[in-house]
Structure 1
Amino acid sequence: MHVIVLGAGVVGVTSAWYLRQKGYDVTVVERQRKAGTETSFANGGQISVSHAEPWAGPSAPMKVLKWMIRPDAPLLFRPRMDPAQWRWAASFLRECTSARAAYNIRQMVNLGTYSRSCLQTLRKDLGLNYDHLEKGILHFYTSQKEFDAAQEPARIMRELGCDRQVIDARRAVELEPALSPVRHRITGATYTGDDESGDARKFTQSLAKKAEEAGVRFLYGTDVVGLEKASGRILGVNVIHDGQHQTLRADNYVLSLGSYSAILARKIGVFLNIYPAKGYSITVPVKNEEAAYRVSLTDDEYKLVFSRLGDRIRVAGTAELNGYSRKLNLTRCRAIVRRTAELMPDAAHWDQAEFWAGLRPTTPSNVPYIGRSKFPNLFLNTGHGTLGWTHSCGSAAALADIVSGVRPDLDFAFTGL
């Protein structure tokens, strides 16, 4: 049985791998010339089950209003004449209750824990090398208010099996001495020892190579322009390859086009409440090993995540809800450099920072679409927001089960089940 996977980011490539392991004939369609060169290219690098607190929470509406006047705000909403943006915003507000936040945390922790286990097994079985570190993730707080607000989500995560422990500044610095210069500013921290970090692009491209060796076909440089449907099924994918219009046909189709999934799905009457949240990152060469962190960090006040990738430092964060433009906003890039250099002035060559921006496919709840659409042979694995790297292997393993007619061994609100 033939399956076409649309998209060769980390979610699409893992989907192709797990489907191939189930015995399917798999083709991956990707508009770029390599796998992992859009949203997966320079993301934050964390495998972070502990980052399961959704953006939509009781305090979010007031924060968003306050941040609208700040060009360097962690979450920036720029109103546009775009019905999709306003529908997304209205749904986001409905998710901002304590009950909905608790429910969404449960979904993300369950998926994240399962996915991390899948990744660890895959890494061991295939011998993948992607600058991964197994040193946990340390959330630190320089605001007492933010630290206090983290207590309840951390408690919920512990109840769900994510061991996110609340610790003090002294213990935080013991775990990561690079925080010593700002110890006096740290009001508290949490630490999840089982979390990891690694280069998502390296992982995606390494797994794509393994998938090709296993028989998966990759059609790079191929634009997806539409889906054909009739009699309640998908009949084919319309693409442009080397300037020629073609129709690719298969038995089943998997939609993993990130932020563009919603646009393609809308053409065939499938509504996905996904909107692009443009995120930024900096990648900087290490200057001083003793001053540079190795434990992956999260600065919750500024919504930044820090990962160590070999001899490089990666810091990513902020979200800009402002359409599909990937143009760099240098104000936001420099804000990341400024905050990181303030925390760890001697860690890296800050004047050599490489800037990047990518579109994260974000749902109002931060919970992705995984499962079957209203078309029985069109499957969804998209909308992972900031956690595509964290959730990719688990999403893909679960989706391969669903395509095979098996309910996944995972407590999650799958689409169409």
Structure 2
Amino acid sequence: MHIYVLGSGIVGVTTAYYLAKKGFEVTVLDRQDGPALETSFANAGQISPGYASPWAAPGIPLKAIKWLFQEDAPLIMKPTLDIAQYRWLWSLLRNCTAKNYAINKERMVRLSEYSRLCFDRLRQETGIRYEDRQRGTIQLFRTQQQLDDSAKDIQVLKEMGTPFEVLDRAGILRYEPGLKETINEFVGALRLPLDETGDCFIFSERLVELAKALGVRFQFAQHIERFDDQNGVIKGIWVNGELVTADAYVVALGSYSTALLKQVGIDVPIYPLKGFSLTVPIIDESKAPQSTVLDETYKVALTRFDQRIRMGGMAGVNGFDLSLKDKYLKTMHKIFNHVFPNSGNLQEATFWTGLRPATPDGTPIVGGTRYSNLWINSGHGTLGWTMSCGAAHYLADLIAGEKPEISTEGLDISRYTR
């Protein structure tokens, strides 16, 4: 059975790998000149299943209004003429209830925790390295209210059996001594000891080589145009003006999945959330993070690579705009200095942006469609790196007709069509 995987970001590459492990013949198509050159290229570097939470949460509408008038706000709103932007925002607002938050978070944590298991297995089986560390993640709280609000997330962690620690200032410094200069700005923290870090781009490149060894073909610089559908079956896909065919197709095009699927009558509520990152060379290791630190106030993550710090954060709801503006760079610099001052050389930092493919409820869309041979693995938002291996393994099981290791409830597109 021959399968085309459309997209070679982290989700597409992991999907191809796990399909090949099942014995399928796999070809990956991508418009870029190599793998992981868009959203997966310079993400925050964290693999944090326990912090898998939907943006749609109680209190977010009020916070969003405040952020519109706040300097250094984590959310950037820019109205466009695209009706999809307003449909997506309205759907997100409808999910901002305690009931929906609990449902959506359980789905996200379920898939993310499974992905953690898949990452562990993959490292053991292949020895793959990607500047990875297994030293946990710390979420920093600057106010008592933030610390108190973490109780609902802690309850979910307890229900999922995920280990955690609540830390005071001394506990924070025990794991992250580089915070010594700024520790008085924080009242406490939540630590998840099983979380991991790594460079997603390096991982993707190395997994491509492992996939090639299993027979996967990668075809880059390909213009994917449209599907050819007949009588409930995808007969082929037009690429570079030519119709190519396979037995099945997986759409893993991130934010660009929406437009392709719409052509065959499949409406997926995936919208691009613009994110930013800085990659900063380390100049003083004693002042640098040891793993990943999340700042709850600014909604940013600072992750340690071997000799670099990757800082990722903010979310822009403004369509497919990939411009880099100085005011956002200044914001990133300011926040960096509020957490790990003098740890890295900001003058040599690399500024980057990418589009995170987000669903309004936070859970990705992974599973089949009304077409018997068309599958989706997209919409992972800020957690593509975290969920990648689990989502790919899960989908490969479905395509192979095998029972997945986790519940299928709420993961495919049917949750939007009920």
**Shared fold by TM > 0.5?**
yes
CA distance in 2, matches of 1:411, 1:192: 23
Q: What are the superposed Cα offsets for residues 193-239 of structure 1, whole Å, 9 maximum, x if unpaired?
A: 00000000000110011111210000101011111101111111111
- Report if the CA contact (8 A) 2:107-2:411 is conserved: no
- Report if the CA contact (8 A) 1:71-1:332 is conserved: no
1:350 to 346, 352, 367: 346
CA distance in 2, matches of 1:137, 1:248: 44
The alpha-carbon deviation at position 47 of structure 1 amounts to: 0.5
- Report if the CA contact (8 A) 2:273-2:357 is conserved: yes
Matched, 1:405 2:409: no
CA distance in 1, matches of 2:413, 2:271: 21
> Which region of structure 1 is more displaced relative to structure 2, 157-166 or 320-329?
157-166
The alpha-carbon deviation at position 184 of structure 1 amounts to: 1.3
The alpha-carbon deviation at position 268 of structure 1 amounts to: 0.9
- Report if the CA contact (8 A) 2:134-2:196 is conserved: yes
Residue aligning to 1:330: 326
The one-letter amino acid of 1:415's match is D
- Report if the CA contact (8 A) 2:85-2:271 is conserved: yes
Matched, 1:320 2:316: yes
Distance verdict in 2 for CA 1:152–1:416, change over 3 Å: closer
CA distance in 1, matches of 2:380, 2:71: 25
The alpha-carbon deviation at position 405 of structure 1 amounts to: 1.5
- Report if the CA contact (8 A) 1:167-1:190 is conserved: yes
The alpha-carbon deviation at position 191 of structure 1 amounts to: 0.4
Matched, 1:415 2:393: no
- Report if the CA contact (8 A) 2:50-2:113 is conserved: no
CA RMSD of aligned residues (A): 1.2
The one-letter amino acid of 1:9's match is G
CA distance in 1, matches of 2:178, 2:71: 29
Gaps of 5+ in 2: none
CA distance in 2, matches of 1:327, 1:84: 20
> Which region of structure 1 is more displaced relative to structure 2, 305-314 or 140-149?
140-149
The alpha-carbon deviation at position 71 of structure 1 amounts to: 6.2
CA distance in 1, matches of 2:223, 2:142: 45
CA distance in 2, matches of 1:37, 1:335: 24
Residue aligning to 1:238: 238
Matched, 1:225 2:225: yes
Matched, 1:388 2:391: no
The alpha-carbon deviation at position 416 of structure 1 amounts to: 6.0
The alpha-carbon deviation at position 61 of structure 1 amounts to: 0.2
Q: What count of residue pairs does the alignment treat as equivalent?
A: 413
Could you say what secondary structure the match of 2:279 adopts? Answer: strand
CA distance in 1, matches of 2:322, 2:156: 35
Residue aligning to 2:177: 177
- Report if the CA contact (8 A) 1:68-1:78 is conserved: no
- Report if the CA contact (8 A) 1:166-1:189 is conserved: yes
- Report if the CA contact (8 A) 1:139-1:298 is conserved: yes
> Given the two structures, how large is their TM-score scaled by the length of structure 2?
0.97
Q: What are the superposed Cα offsets for residues 333-361 of structure 1, whole Å, 9 maximum, x if unpaired?
A: 22121111122212111222110000000
CA distance in 2, matches of 1:394, 1:333: 33
Could you say what secondary structure the match of 2:243 adopts? Answer: strand
CA distance in 2, matches of 1:390, 1:47: 4
Matches within 5 A, 1:257-336: 257-336=253-332
Distance verdict in 2 for CA 1:181–1:416, change over 3 Å: closer
1:252 to 245, 248, 251: 248
Matched, 1:21 2:21: yes
CA distance in 2, matches of 1:85, 1:407: 36
The one-letter amino acid of 2:235's match is L
